[in-house]
Amino acid sequence: MNFDTCATRETTYPCSIFNDRHPSTVSMTVLVVVEMFNALNNLSENQSLLSSENMIIKDVLLCYPSWSNLWLVASIILTMIFHILILYVHPLAVLFSVTPLSWAEWRLVLYLSFPVIIIDEVLKFFSRNTKGIRFKFRFRRPDMLPKRESRDK
């Protein structure tokens, strides 16, 4: 909110940190890549991304590869191409106030983005393997439960 007033205020940090576009570029790229991984995870609600079996229709097992939804895969690829163009084509980078990323920064982006796939795979595993398990909560003292009033009064 006040980044442009840095030179007029007394601060403990240098004002040059507001000129470095790498942190905001990395964070924006992480958000883009996380959303692309989420889209890839949504090929199937509960089948693993690595599984070749993604769909059962009318008791017939149909084997679909993970790339069965070509429109989704094409949109992911197109989105990443547009993002890379914004990062590496100078007029676009100036327009969007971003800077090109190094290989080390791309590794950081993938390192920060990939856990969304692991988390979703764990959730899918539990959704496939917990049929019929219900939690049973019991009250130790039934006299502590609220009393129901009868309508027969």
Per-residue pLDDT of 136-152, as tens digits, reads 556 566 666 666 676 66
The whole-model pTM stands at 0.67
Which tens digits make up the pLDDT trace of 27-75? 999 999 999 999 888 877 777 776 644 443 333 334 445 556 788 889 9
The alpha carbon torsion through 104, 107, 111, 112 (nearest 10 deg) reads 70
Q: Which one has a higher pLDDT value, 19 or 105?
A: 105
**Given this model, what pLDDT does residue 58 score?**
31
Mean pLDDT on 86-110 = 94
pLDDT score recorded for residue 1: 52
Burial class of residue 25, CB neighbours in 10 A (0-12, 13-18, 19+):
buried
Alpha carbon distances (Å) from 107 to 29, 65, 121: 11, 27, 21
User: H helices within the chain, ranges in order?
Assistant: 22-41, 70-88, 90-96, 103-113, 115-129
**In terms of DSSP bridges, do strands 55-57 and 60-62 run parallel, antiparallel, or are they unpaired?**
antiparallel
Q: How far is CA 129 from CA 43, 46, 120, 125, in A?
A: 19, 10, 14, 6
